[in-house]
Amino acid sequence: MSFFENTKDNLKKGLDGESKIREYFKNIGINFMQADLIFFYNNKWCLAEIKTQEKYLSPPFDGHGLPQWQIDFRMKFYNDTNVEPYLIVNCLSDKCIYIQSFINLLNGEFYKTNGIKPRTIFPINSFKKIVY
């Protein structure tokens, strides 16, 4: 039996509890974000937004991205705390991990999509590629 199968009841309880707390905070007007990972790197604490997704294949370049509101929240957190935010992508297309600091990504080229769920896309060559 897998780890997931052995722990799914506890995972469900935990997720249900987190959902209730998020709903409560939303109802009383407390802003929040959920950190996917907090890690210690280069003698400082960092915050990661982790995505598992296909590579965005479209002009003006191929890349990876996320909704602008997630970038805004993480950059506000950085400005308030100096905890550097990272985007880490488990790329299903290339079967590797792409990683880069939001600071570096936002100082380079990016593209904003239009539509119902607009995203900010960063060029694939802006990331460090980790093959596993």
How do the domains of the chain map onto residue ranges? 1-32, 33-131
pLDDT top residue among 115 and 25: 25
pLDDT top residue among 9 and 44: 44
**69 to 39, 74, 92, 118: CA distances (angstroms):** 22, 9, 23, 10
For the stretch 81-112, pLDDT in tens is 999 999 999 999 999 999 999 999 999 999 99
Query: Residue 24: helix, strand or coil by DSSP?
Result: helix
Q: How far is CA 115 from the centre of its chain?
A: 20
What span, in angstroms and rounded, lies between the C-alpha atoms of 30 and 35? Answer: 16
What span, in angstroms and rounded, lies between the C-alpha atoms of 37 and 69? Answer: 18
Phi, psi of 66, rounded to the nearest 5 degrees: -160, 170
The answer to whether the CB of 69 falls within 8 A of the CB of 49 is no
Looking at domain 33-131, which CATH architecture does it have? 3-Layer(aba) Sandwich (3.40)
pLDDT of residue 95: 95
Handedness of CA 122, 123, 128, 130 (dihedral sign): positive
pTM value is 0.86
Q: What single letter denotes the amino acid at residue 46?
A: C
Retrieve residue 98's tokens.
């792409």
Rg over CA atoms, the chain: 17
